[in-house]
Amino acid sequence: MTNITVTVPTSSTSPDVAAATAQFLAPVVINLQALAVNGKQAHWHVRGANFIGVHELLDHVVDHAQDWADLAAERVVALGLPLDARIETVASKTVLPTMEPGFQKSEYMIAAMVAQIDATLVGVKKAITELSDIDPTSQDVVIEIARGLEKSRWFLSAHIAE
């Protein structure tokens, strides 16, 4: 009996394309993870006008941010590369603005979360632009994320629009 060794590559994408793609997707994952954590903080501590509506909307923002982080992270891993989104890595690498701790009025929490989404969208839009020539499949992932973030931003900002 002969032993046959079969080696299956981790990805059908070249290592160079995978590395180039990961450099744009990894920051997206980091910032989405930070958005989810900060959104949950806002959810727990929101006070004031339209409390229940804002409280519940923040939960949706958190759920979506977690789903999108998973989508982008799984794309990196499907390309055969590891991804570091441990809490200490997220805390040290996120570009999201800091939020005030403790209880805050709903207007503050909404504005703070819109700022968080805007900061996340900067990296997402950069990834959309850069991935167009590198990996259209990964570009499609970040286009989906951008579409969702912009919808979440609209839902939040509508609460404080004049």
Give the tens place of pLDDT for each residue, 27-77. Answer: 999 999 999 999 999 999 999 988 999 999 999 999 999 999 999 999 999
Q: Is the pLDDT of residue 7 over 60?
A: no
Which residues, at least 6 apart from 127, have a Cβ–Cβ distance to it below 8 Å?
24, 25, 27, 28, 138, 139, 142
Q: Strand, coil or helix: what is 46?
A: strand
Structural domains of the chain, count? 1
Q: Which pLDDT does position 10 carry in this prediction?
A: 59
Any domain includes 6? no
Angstrom CA distances, 135 to 19, 25, 80, 122, 157, stand at: 11, 11, 14, 19, 33
Residue 152, exposed/middle/buried by CB under 10 A (0-12, 13-18, 19+)?
buried
Any domain includes 162? no
| CATH number of the domain that residue 100 is part of | 1.20.1260.10
Q: pLDDT tier at 8 (50, 70, 90 boundaries)?
A: very low
Backbone angles phi, psi at 56, to 5 degrees: -70, -40
pLDDT for 86-141, tens place per residue? 999 999 999 999 999 999 999 999 999 999 999 999 999 999 999 999 999 999 99
Q: pLDDT tier at 12 (50, 70, 90 boundaries)?
A: low
What's this model's pTM, rounded to 2 decimal places?
0.92
Domain range holding 57?
15-157
Any domain includes 7? no
Any domain includes 115? yes
- Rounded CA-CA distance 92/162 in Å is 36
